[in-house]
Chain A
Amino acid sequence: MDFTLKIWRQEGPQEEGRMETYPVTGITGDMSFLEMMDVLNDQLIRDGQDPVAFDHDCREGICGMCSMFINGEAHGPNRKTTTCQLHMRSFKDGETIYIEPWRASAFPVVKDLAVDRSAFDRIIQVGGYVSVNSSGNPIDANAIPVPKEDADAAFNAATCIGCGACVATCKNASAMLFVSAKVSQLALLPQGQPERMSRVQRMVDQMDKEGFGNCTNTGACEVECPKGISLDNIARMNRDYLKSQVTGE
């Protein structure tokens, strides 16, 4: 298969970016989207041009490092699929494909398609944990029973890979789905109760400080999330946040 790629090129965070056009040929349907990018870069390097920078690592849909806004959608056209798990058979031979970085002021471009998502780390750092030390003598694991449905719901929230597709997709560049997934995981478990109110306050405050937008319930984040994280988490976070404001805990 052959494609025409329109790719966002940007030297660095301060430089201006632009769309550039590149043809790629000899692509097979079994190639992943990133392998198609490898083919392009191989060709660019051999031609003495600057290869396209993009983030990627595990290439099996779990590390959350790959990004790319493909034809106007985070991680491309397929649902519950990261860019690394997207295969070229999902595209038509001869198609023009537009490839852009995540766009959000809280995710500045590092180069080309790679962005800086350290804002997510800083949100976790203010409270996305249970304050327990690791070298002590914790109580036996089975001394804390957790109802199966709570454990399963906590697990589902915890499967967030922190890729940032929710932010990139949201017209407000809101990080509510990401933040609420972590808030929910811990709010659903007995271990998370002691810090439940202070945690949600601190994390929401940090989210605002990082420059993410507000949630207006369009639900696009849930649709584009490669792990299917549910909007219910946002409702739960809002409830807890409101409660923490009212009770002043």
Chain B
Amino acid sequence: MTEMPKHSVALDAKIPEGPLADKWKNHKNSIRLVNPANKRLIDVIVVGTGLAGSSAAASLAEMGYNVKAFCFQDSPRRAHSIAAQGGINAAKNYQNDGDSVYRLFYDTIKGGDYRSREANVYRLAEVSANIIDQCVSQGVPFARDYGGLLDNRSFGGVQVSRTFYAKGQTGQQLLLGAYSALSRQISKGKVTMYNRHELMDVVVVDGKARGIIARNLVTGEVERHGAHAVVLCSGGYGNVFYLSTNAMGSNVSAAWKAHKKGAYMANPSYTQIHPTCIPVSGHYQSKLTLMSESLRNDGRIWVPNDQSDVEALRNGSMRPTDIPEERRDYYLERRYPAFGNLVPRDVASRAAKERCDAGFGVNEAGEAVFLDYASAIERYGRTEANVKGIEAPSAEKIRELGEAVVRAKYGNLFQMYEQITADNPYKTPMRIYPAVHYTMGGLWVDYNLQTTVPGLYACGEANFSDHGANRLGASALMQGLADGYFVLPYTIGEYLADDIRTGAIPTDTPEFEAAEQGVKDRIGFLLGNGGKTPVDDFHRRLGRIMWNECGMSRNEKGLNQAIADIQSLREEFEQDVRVPGRPDRFNPELDKAGRVSDLMELGELMCKDALERQESCGGHFREEYQTPEGEALRDDVGHAHVSAWAHTGVPAEATHHKEALAFENVELKTRSYK
């Protein structure tokens, strides 16, 4: 089934010449243009309708291109960008607190542990302000202050307030904004929307991406779609871990099919594991829920320091509130006195794992720590009592006042926690544990967001470009919209300018024929396989392997074992998977089988990538490379590069290419939070 790439491309990031601050401006001025009459002769396919996809499809259509947009959900509005909670960063400096394009750039490079491309990150910071203007003009209801102007909040890893937000539903509001822009172009006939369609393959003709094979998930029909360029905005692949904060349908298939057709995968092992999620409760758990990072502002994280208390908690003979202060280990405050509970995501996650691995996890599975609001409630309660002039308030009164303050700040999150766990977090500490949240890795793209296959582009979480080895909070939304609204619509012109005389791309060619046949053969194989085991079973086992060996900490032995385990799991899948139903009907199990099959291959490559990167940086922690205190040890001499992998047939045997990262504007430093 696997194919060799049709061509090999040297990695040229095509970063424009000139000073950092002028690169994008100069580049925009030199990009070739396509005149309006000619744009009408050019077709572009956009796959995925999250922030990157919706904004790209709408913008390209407004410019005059003919766009076909695809999503697997029943409506473009359901893409998983909708679930982003916290906010979107932009260097507006509305708070007059010293923010600037340079500071946003610097924070992002540092937060990414010096593993991202300076020029891309600077451009991201540069266009960030324009995103806010754009969204407001569309009617996105951001939070405002009493003067009617936009409000900001601060987020982890930075010292300014540059995060714009709409309560805990910022992703929803931004996506609905982009969806409305997309809907307007659909009504004009400039975008043809294909809901409930899945990309099954990318079609490459004469070395260029010239279309896709898609499957109508309702009728099962396998369709050919030709275009002059294909843009993948298909999101991240956190679901390789089975349990994650991603939506159930989030998958890697579009990117993986592209990879098999010659697009390189970059830094696939860079995974963000978010420290504050609701822990796993049982075997049939399908999904993990994030509790916003903002909770770490007031909550204190701890586990017991006495093993007998851990046992008592697990067998229910003791409640967490029964454990006295001196038998609690506030381990983040102990290890990182300067930042305490507000260390970055990767550091907080690893510290929780360290305690749980040492046997101090506080739930039955031993995989949870406490996030405790008792002292915040007490502190706020006392302040309120002072403000209200209550003399000698009772402990009960302090509690009541404090709970009211916490409810006003975090009420919706506390309610969500109670809905899921049936525990009241005002009365007892929350149990939390890290969970897979975002993937920094993705398709390798150059400065123009073009992959190694000419005419094939990748935007948003699907590409690898801007976050290095760790993404800062509130930067995913920024990158998705920057790519879709303000970067790709310009840069794609450089490529399409050569296509004004090409004419419509025919789909009755041998390349389309072969791709379609390959898709049909695979569907036939899956349905006719006659195995015994449901797809979810394989997905769960893949997730277990990935979480244990390629999760929060990794080592050489474990990664080698994981590669072997995934290879045998893949073999077993081919022999024993059971996919019920018919090819010509709505058949979600069939859709899932295709996705899990691709996720298993990707998982193998992730382990290979993690094995090759013999250093620790950001979300990638190799146990062999740590300081005596257990902190990440980066290797700027040997590993200041992007790893880009070319498919050769077997994921673990992919060819390794390197793009050296040059730091001309920032000095490489070791992050310290002690």
Interface residues of A (CB under 8 A from B): 11-12, 28-32, 34-35, 38-39, 41-42, 44-46, 48-51, 53, 55-65, 81, 85, 87, 89, 110-111, 114, 116-118, 120-121, 124-126, 128-135, 137-142, 144-148, 151, 154-155, 158-159, 161-162, 185-186, 189, 191-192
State A116–B586 Cα separation when bound (angstroms).
Answer: 12
Q: Which residue of B lies closest to A141 (CB)?
A: B136
Contacting pair B183 A121 (CB below 8 A) = yes
Determine how close the nearest CB of chain B comes to the CB of A77; give it in whole angstroms: 13
State A3–B148 Cα separation when bound (angstroms).
Answer: 52
Do A38 and B586 contact each other (CB < 8 Å), given the known contacts A51-B580, A125-B186, A189-B139? Answer: no
Chain A neighbourhood of B146, CB < 8 A: 148
Contacting pair B80 A58 (CB below 8 A) = yes
Q: Can you list 10 pairs linking A and B with CB atoms under 8 Å apart?
A: A30-B421, A30-B422, A42-B536, A59-B247, A85-B420, A87-B420, A125-B184, A128-B183, A134-B59, A191-B136
Does B588 make an interface contact (CB < 8 A)?
yes
- C-beta contact mask, B474-493 vs A, less than 8 Å → 1, else 0? 00000000000110010000
Chain A neighbourhood of B186, CB < 8 A: 121, 125
Contacting pair A147 B148 (CB below 8 A) = yes
Contacting pair A138 B287 (CB below 8 A) = no
State A120–B365 Cα separation when bound (angstroms).
Answer: 43
Segment at the interface with A among B167-175, B512-520, B641-649: B167-175
Do A87 and B422 contact each other (CB < 8 Å), given the known contacts A62-B169, A64-B78, A148-B145? Answer: yes
Does B180 make an interface contact (CB < 8 A)?
yes
Contacting pair A34 B586 (CB below 8 A) = no
Contacting pair B75 A121 (CB below 8 A) = yes
Identify which of residues 136-151 in chain B touch chain A, using a CB-to-CB cut-off of 8 Å.
136-139, 141-150
Determine how close the nearest CB of chain A comes to the CB of B218; give it in whole angstroms: 6
Chain A neighbourhood of B148, CB < 8 A: 145-148, 151
Contacting pair A135 B195 (CB below 8 A) = no
Does B405 make an interface contact (CB < 8 A)?
no
Contacting pair B485 A134 (CB below 8 A) = yes
Chain B neighbourhood of A12, CB < 8 A: 585-586
State A56–B286 Cα separation when bound (angstroms).
Answer: 12
Does B498 make an interface contact (CB < 8 A)?
no
What are the 9 closest A-B residue pairs judged by CB atoms, nearest first?
A145-B148, A129-B180, A155-B141, A141-B136, A111-B586, A59-B287, A125-B187, A138-B137, A30-B281
Contacting pair A45 B137 (CB below 8 A) = no
Does B249 make an interface contact (CB < 8 A)?
yes
State A212–B223 Cα separation when bound (angstroms).
Answer: 32
* Count of CB-CB pairs between chains A and B under 8 Å: 218
Chain B neighbourhood of A49, CB < 8 A: 580
Selected contact of B248 from candidates A28, A56, A117, A155, CB within 8 Å = A56
State A11–B279 Cα separation when bound (angstroms).
Answer: 37
Chain B neighbourhood of A11, CB < 8 A: 585
State A34–B245 Cα separation when bound (angstroms).
Answer: 16
Contacting pair B183 A125 (CB below 8 A) = yes
Chain B neighbourhood of A50, CB < 8 A: 580-581
Determine how close the nearest CB of chain A comes to the CB of B252; give it in whole angstroms: 16
Contacting pair B74 A135 (CB below 8 A) = no
- C-beta contact mask, B175-211 vs A, less than 8 Å → 1, else 0? 0100111011011000001010000000000000000
Contacting pair B534 A42 (CB below 8 A) = yes
Selected contact of A60 from candidates B92, B144, B193, B289, CB within 8 Å = B289
Chain B neighbourhood of A60, CB < 8 A: 83, 245, 287, 289-290
Q: Which residue of A lies closest to B54 (CB)?
A: A134
Interface residues of B (CB under 8 A from A): 55, 58-59, 62-63, 73-78, 80, 82-83, 92, 94, 130, 132-139, 141-150, 166-167, 169, 171-173, 176, 179-181, 183-184, 186-187, 193, 195, 218, 245, 247-249, 281-282, 284-287, 289-290, 416, 419-422, 485-486, 489, 532, 534, 536-537, 578, 580-581, 585-589
State A131–B588 Cα separation when bound (angstroms).
Answer: 36
Contacting pair A141 B75 (CB below 8 A) = no
Contacting pair B139 A192 (CB below 8 A) = yes
Chain A neighbourhood of B173, CB < 8 A: 155, 158
Contacting pair A151 B144 (CB below 8 A) = yes
Contacting pair A144 B485 (CB below 8 A) = no
Contacting pair B136 A144 (CB below 8 A) = yes
Selected contact of B580 from candidates A45, A61, A120, A128, CB within 8 Å = A45
Chain A neighbourhood of B169, CB < 8 A: 62, 159
Q: Which residue of B lies closest to A159 (CB)?
A: B169
State A28–B179 Cα separation when bound (angstroms).
Answer: 38
Residue with the greatest number of chain B CB neighbours at <10 A, chosen from A55, A126, A135, A137:
A135
Chain A neighbourhood of B76, CB < 8 A: 121
Q: Which residue of A lies closest to B284 (CB)?
A: A35
Contacting pair B133 A141 (CB below 8 A) = yes
Determine how close the nearest CB of chain A comes to the CB of B196; give it in whole angstroms: 8
Do A63 and B176 contact each other (CB < 8 Å), given the known contacts A87-B420, A130-B139, A141-B132? Answer: no
Contacting pair A38 B138 (CB below 8 A) = no
State A50–B180 Cα separation when bound (angstroms).
Answer: 37
Determine how close the nearest CB of chain B comes to the CB of A101; give it in whole angstroms: 12
Residue with the greatest number of chain A CB neighbours at <10 A, chosen from B78, B173, B585:
B78
Residue with the greatest number of chain B CB neighbours at <10 A, chosen from A31, A62, A139:
A62
Selected contact of A185 from candidates B139, B422, B534, B588, CB within 8 Å = B139
Contacting pair A145 B141 (CB below 8 A) = no
State A55–B218 Cα separation when bound (angstroms).
Answer: 12
If A62-B172, A63-B83, A111-B586 are given as contacts, then 5 extra A-B residue pairs at C-beta distance below 8 Å, sorted by A number, are A31-B282, A38-B536, A53-B588, A134-B62, A155-B173
Chain A neighbourhood of B143, CB < 8 A: 151, 155
State A117–B580 Cα separation when bound (angstroms).
Answer: 25
Residue with the greatest number of chain A CB neighbours at <10 A, chosen from B139, B149, B286, B416:
B139
Q: Which residue of B lies closest to A126 (CB)?
A: B187
State A131–B180 Cα separation when bound (angstroms).
Answer: 9
Selected contact of A135 from candidates B62, B145, B285, B289, CB within 8 Å = B62
Chain A neighbourhood of B59, CB < 8 A: 134-135
Contacting pair A142 B150 (CB below 8 A) = yes
State A32–B171 Cα separation when bound (angstroms).
Answer: 24
Selected contact of B183 from candidates A48, A51, A129, A186, CB within 8 Å = A129
State A132–B69 Cα separation when bound (angstroms).
Answer: 20
Q: Which residue of B lies closest to A45 (CB)?
A: B534
Selected contact of A81 from candidates B92, B172, B419, B580, CB within 8 Å = B419
State A42–B421 Cα separation when bound (angstroms).
Answer: 24
Q: Which residue of B lies closest to A39 (CB)?
A: B284
Q: Which residue of A lies closest to B137 (CB)?
A: A138
